[in-house]
Each structure stands twice: as structure tokens, then as C-alpha cells.
Amino acid sequence: MNNILTFAYIGDSVFELYVREMLIKRGIVKINLLQKEAIKYVSAVGQVVFLEYLINHNILTELELDIVKRGRNNSRSFHPKNTDILTYKKATGFEALIGYLYLNDKDRLNEILGYVEVI
């Protein structure tokens, strides 16, 4: 499996599940608050903030940056109404990275996801 959008598809789910679990472990139990907090991370804007943190702190390898670029540069032109195309494409690149790591290197995935709590 090497379709970049397939990586993004699974990466979106993996990241959302990670964030939900993290918030529950923090002791948040009210569903409305869980949803509100989760959106800060799993929205396209939240994903881009996290991706830029990883890039700006030189955390990603060349291979990982390449996966992000491939996801970002995919030819799909759709984007949700609540975000601009550039943000959506960057978020797709991030999701592709998470999906790739989930399928190929769970240790590295866990290492990268560990930075979520830093920001």
C-alpha cells in the first residue's frame, strides 16, 4: 500500500484516536468538553500547527518530510468550506505521515505523537 491518500485516510483516524485517548487520560470526562478540546488538535488548523512544530524543530527525517510533501502536493482539489486549500493540503500531508508511520513504524509514530503534549 503506497497511495499517499490512503496513508492520509488512515492517518486521520489514527491521529484522532490518539488525541481522544490523550484527553481522556488527562481526566476530561464531559463529552462536550472532550469534543471541544479534540477539535483544537484534529482540525486541519490544529494539524498544521503540530506539523509546523515538527518541521521547525527538525524532528522529521528526510523520508518523513518527503511523505508530508507528497501528501500536501496530491492532485485532489477538494477542501472543506471551513478551511482554505493551503491549510487543507498541509493537513493532508500531516495525515499521510501519520498513516505511513502507523503502517510501517509504530515506534517512530509513538515518538512523534509524544510531541503533541509538548505544544
**Catalytic residues, which ones?**
12
Contact call for residues 50 and 41 (beta carbons, < 8 A)? yes
Contact call for residues 11 and 94 (beta carbons, < 8 A)? yes
Sign of the CA dihedral running 106, 109, 115, 119? negative
Give me 103's grid cell. 503502517
Cα-flanking dihedrals φ and ψ of residue 39, to 5°?
A: -60, -30
How far apart CA 53 and CA 51 sit, in angstroms, is 5
Provide the 10 A C-beta neighbour count for residue 112. Answer: 18
